Chain A
Amino acid sequence: MATIFTPSPLFERVERARRRKHKLRDEYITLAHGSGGKAMHELVEGLFLEYLRNPMLELLEDQAVFDVGNGNGAARLAFTTDSYVVTPIFFPGGDIGKLAVHGTVNDIAMSGARPLYLSAGFILEEGFPIADLKRVLESMRDAAAEAGVAVVTGDTKVVEKGTADKIFINTSGIGLIETPVKLSAANARPGDKVILSGTIGDHGTTIMIARGELELETEIESDSAPLHSLVQEMLDEAARVSTVEAIHCLRDPTRGGVATTLNEIALTSEVCIQISEDRIPVREEVHGACEILGLDPLYVANEGKLVAIVAPEVAEALVARMRQHRHGLKACIIGEVKEDPRGIVAMVTGFGGTRIVDMLAGEQLPRIC
């Protein structure tokens, strides 16, 4: 077969450019800075981290993990925060309230923790209908009950009409890690398997269509769901077959999709992640909508899916167990971790070729969550 890229200094050059320290050159914030792709990484690593750096933040995980107390009484906690600005606020399969609970519950769950308590901060636009606020709160209540968490503190601000869009919600969450699990985007090792818990792109496509700009009609629903119980079952299964430490990394691929999440892991762990296109489950309607819109489902947001990097000896058992859980019915192994070339996500296409799956450079869909 053709080898068009004979090894040349050029590729070293590109790899160096990819790995160099993020630097923020822009003069203004653009929507690309919120997209979950490269521009956001530049903002976070080139600016936020420069000013707020500390050993815990520096890890750039989706949550901070730390010990409280000492000796036998010590507890390992996970702490996270997230803001929700999705538009429209109501969409098939959920709304901003449900998302605000699930998103934060999932960020806690990805550390292996059991979510305990949430805070909720509301920024409301003058003129926002109380009836809509009630609907949002109702679904927050139901989502919290389902996830077994309580909203224990909160805050409300109202701003003049036009200075916010209807309602923005921030939630923070705290959870308890009860096993010796050590999850990190830096833990992927050559030989590990990559597990995906189900179909990709459902949430982002739903939002896109719910905006009504495209006049498409489908029955796609957001996949918004709490994943903590799925994670607990995975930890149980790993402990049963081997040890919980056989699960190396868990991430929920929200903004930027599975492609961005895998890139983060490949770069942080300095490994190559290789996936197979024909193993990645995509719903027919999502596939169709993405074809029409020119989107790649790999880059479209999910709100009820996880990616797990696990030791090969537990992979099959984990997938089997996940498939018994209602949020993991279509779980499967989509690829594996290789040593080289480091920091790269490569995909064998369904067509038989290969390509690199890079991080998203520009803005795809603003305000998706």
Chain B
Amino acid sequence: MKYIDEYRQGDIAARLAEQIAALTDRPLKLMEVCGGHTHSIFKYGIEDLLPPNIEMIHGPGCPVCVIPLGRVDDSMSIAQTPGVIFTTFGDAMRVPGSKTSLLGAKAAGADVRMVYSPLDALKIAKKNPDRDVVFFALGFETTAPSTAMTLLQAAKDDVPNFTVFCNHIMIVPALKALLDSPDLKLDGFVGPGHVSTVIGTRPYDFVPNEYGKPVVVAGFEPLDVLQSVYMLVKQIVEGRAEIENQYARVVFRDGNRRALEAIFEVFEPREYFEWRGLGSIAHSGMKLNAKYSRFDAELKFSVPGLRIADPKACQCGEILKGVKKPWECKVFGTACTPETPIGSCMVSSEGACAAYYNFGRLSKVAERSTGHTG
């Protein structure tokens, strides 16, 4: 398929892999921040192509993985309110709360519907004026503009029965928190692609300037990821720490002005937002500002708002920080599987644990079956 296949060519990948291997044999730890990259890495088997000295650490950039249990419980409490139609993206349906998931709440009678866009949720609200329609907004700056545009539309059309349960989060405070974490040992970052289409590359300047780590903003096709690793390793070898943009076909230095304007129009930063595994991070979450507060589900419905500790056995936090590998968690693959996830990293296909569980365990297969050995 045009514009897709070009980025998936195995022969180019093999050449790139050789070039990466030729750069250095120093052990390097690189983090891909974004869950989309984690997914690509596993889907295409990119780690098979990397030399053994380069280790990819799978970061906290999967929005479903970092939403805390308490917020999931809050979403269910809203969904179970009589008269509510609760709308959400598909991968949020299975996220476990402290007792059940939205899928379970749906089976028990709540009207939970999957939508592909918040605008679809608004459409449902217009079609059902006698019901309260709530959209479960999740994600980084990538999805925040579409929620913002929907809110602008809702305000324009004056849809009184539409609200948003806002859980949008911001990447930069999370990156800062990671970099400040004492147990973190990273050599560089594969920077988020989709988020950067919105915010640009300028907000990452602090990473090389203050922390001396290089960042390469990357696309999601497998050759994008591989090329970004090459660029990152090259920077490290040459002793540089800069922001480079591999995804220049869609990411610009200053981002997308209109998308940012929409975000600033409807949202304001929360004082604190809790991240699963990473704890409470200042100014890392977004909420609806006073002008749009009539669309804020948290004000319209009573939400418990409890902070619920992660299950003891679950080590999602260490895994999100790259301190532990998924398989070093005691419940990985035994009590915690994609069918019965305990930790959120096992839920979404972008979560590090689910990625390892679903696509991983591979070198073993590779060694024994394909001859692609290391």
Interface residues, chain A, with chain B CB atoms under 8 Å away: 1-5, 7-8, 10-11, 13-14, 16-17, 25-32, 38-39, 42, 213-214, 272, 274, 284, 287-288, 291, 338, 340-341, 344, 346, 348-356, 358, 361-363
Contact = CB atoms under 8 A, between A and B. Distances in A.
Given A213-B120, A214-B116, A351-B45, A356 B358 contact: yes
A291 B339 CA distance: 24
Interface of B: 1, 4, 8-10, 13-14, 42-52, 54-55, 90, 93-94, 103-104, 106-108, 116, 120, 222, 327, 332-334, 337-340, 357-370, 372-374
A341 to B, nearest CB: 6
A214 B360 CA distance: 32
Nearest to B355: A355
Contacts of B337: 17, 361
B103 A1 contact: no
8 contacts: A1-B52, A29-B107, A32-B103, A351-B10, A353-B49, A354-B365, A358-B357, A362-B93
Contacts of A354: 45, 48, 362, 365-366, 370, 372
Q: Which of B54, B107, B365 has the most chain A CB within a 10 Å cutoff?
A: B365
Contacts of B368: 272, 338, 340-341
Contact of B106 (A4, A5, A30): A30
B45 A11 contact: no
A346 B364 CA distance: 10
Cβ-closest 9 pairs across A and B: A353-B45, A3-B374, A14-B333, A361-B338, A28-B107, A352-B10, A353-B48, A351-B44, A355-B359
A287 B327 contact: no
B103 A30 contact: yes
Contacts of A26: 104, 107
Contact of B362 (A29, A352, A356): A356
B46 to A, nearest CB: 6
A5 B361 contact: yes
Given A284-B1, A362-B93, A352 B49 contact: yes
B22 to A, nearest CB: 14
Contacts of A272: 365, 368-369
Contacts of B369: 272, 274, 338, 340-341, 346
A271 to B, nearest CB: 11
B48 A352 contact: yes
Contacts of B373: 1, 3
B47 A4 contact: yes
B44 A356 contact: no
A351 to B, nearest CB: 4
Contact of B48 (A2, A13, A340): A2
A282 B12 CA distance: 22
Contacts of B42: 355
B229 to A, nearest CB: 12
B11 to A, nearest CB: 8
Contacts of B103: 30-32, 362-363
A16 to B, nearest CB: 8
Contacts of A288: 1
A26 B43 CA distance: 30
Contact of B364 (A11, A274, A287, A352): A11
A5 B45 contact: no
A355 B362 contact: yes
Q: Which of B54, B108, B338 has the most chain A CB within a 10 Å cutoff?
A: B338
Nearest to A274: B369
B94 A5 contact: no
A344 B44 CA distance: 17
A153 to B, nearest CB: 34
B116 A291 contact: no
Q: Which of B108, B373, B374 has the most chain A CB within a 10 Å cutoff?
A: B374
B8 A5 contact: no
Nearest to B100: A27
A105 B10 CA distance: 40
Nearest to A293: B116
A215 to B, nearest CB: 9
Given A284-B1, A288-B1, A349 B43 contact: yes
Contacts of A28: 104, 107-108
Contacts of B372: 1, 348, 354
Contact of B52 (A2, A351, A361): A2
Contacts of A340: 368-369
A32 B366 CA distance: 31
Contacts of B367: 3
A3 B52 contact: yes
A350 B10 contact: yes
B222 A351 contact: yes
Contacts of B363: 2-5
Nearest to A16: B334
A30 B120 CA distance: 23
Given A26-B104, A351-B44, 12 more contacts: A1-B374, A4-B55, A5-B364, A14-B334, A38-B338, A39-B339, A291-B4, A346-B366, A350-B10, A353-B45, A353-B46, A354-B362
